[in-house]
Structure 1
């Protein structure tokens, strides 16, 4: 009977160990599933991050283009301002020359009060 009792105890111990191992295996399986889900989430995050990096690079390129456009516009504005200043100076010079010509033309038409126009001096 002791042999039967030992055999029964051995079966109980074996069953308990089997149950413990089964429980540990289930826990490990759950951990593996959790790790797989986390891995999938990480891949999704990685893809999203790569997309954001690409978008940032694209925005950086657009900013560079805008800065160049602004620089070109400033250069054109400066050029236009200089041309306008030159034109204003030429216009003032032309006005001065016109005024001088007008004054020169008027000098030839001096009127002397008391002498009737059309009389000739002999």
Structure 2
């Protein structure tokens, strides 16, 4: 019995110590919790500060990049403005050059026109000087040596146009070969130039020559034509081959002054100042186009 009481007393004496230990434990837990929370808050604050610092740095980088981009854009704009300015200057220079070129072209055209007018004036002057002349083509060299060129011309008139000899007193002012000296490089005989006293007589003789199928001297074919300046003759010679073809087809071709080709077709007289106009015309005339193939 005594032992049991002793045990109970001992147990009763131990209880306050146990309760104190639990309180201390609770305090410890609370303190540890607070410490953990503080650490967490501190860590969170640290991370937030780091994040904030990172964001601030990124913002600074963005601002820096924006500034650089603005500078780049400004430089590009300035460069573009400079290019636009140079383009405008170049366009102005090109425009000025175009205007200058147009002025030069117009001046050149006027100069060429004046030259052509002067050439035409000289040609017309020479043609007027030669307006009473007849050119005889195809008479052999030396035929006029004994009888003279004037008498030779009279023989041609009597052989081909005896009615003119009877009807008209044909008067010749001058008759000679042209050029004065024969060129060894020219196999054909020189032409004989007959200067008539009256233009009317020249025109009657040439009209009669056109109406004959052939003009002859001692039975051999020759040609009579008007006498013109070198320029007019050259322009008229351009029609030579075409003239022969048209004459062979009985289209009654003529060379009008100064160098227009005319012929009769489909009951009408057609006239052309140059080959280009004739070429444009025959594109609509297949028969004539085939006839003149290779000549235009």
TM-score band w.r.t. shorter chain: 0.7 to 0.9
More strand by share: 2
- Which position in structure 2 is the counterpart of 1:25? 49
Counterpart among 27, 30, 34 of residue 6 in structure 1: 30
5+ long unaligned stretches in structure 1: 118-122
State how many pairs are aligned: 115
Counterpart among 94, 100, 117 of residue 118 in structure 2: 94
- Which position in structure 2 is the counterpart of 1:113? 150
Q: Which has the higher contact order (CA 8 A, sep 6+)?
A: 2
Higher CA-based Rg: 2
Counterpart among 55, 59, 82 of residue 106 in structure 2: 82
Shift of 1:24: 1.3
Report the TM-score when normalising by structure 2: 0.35
Partner SS, residue 113 of structure 1: helix
Deviations 1:8-52 (A, max 9, x none): 211111111111111111111111112112221221111111110
Deviations 1:60-105 (A, max 9, x none): 1111111111111111111111111111111111111212333455
Q: For the residues of structure 2 that align with 1:40 and 1:65, how far apart are their CA atoms?
A: 37
Partner SS, residue 150 of structure 2: coil
5+ long unaligned stretches in structure 2: 1-23, 135-148, 152-171, 175-296
Q: For the residues of structure 1 that align with 2:130 and 2:59, how far apart are their CA atoms?
A: 103
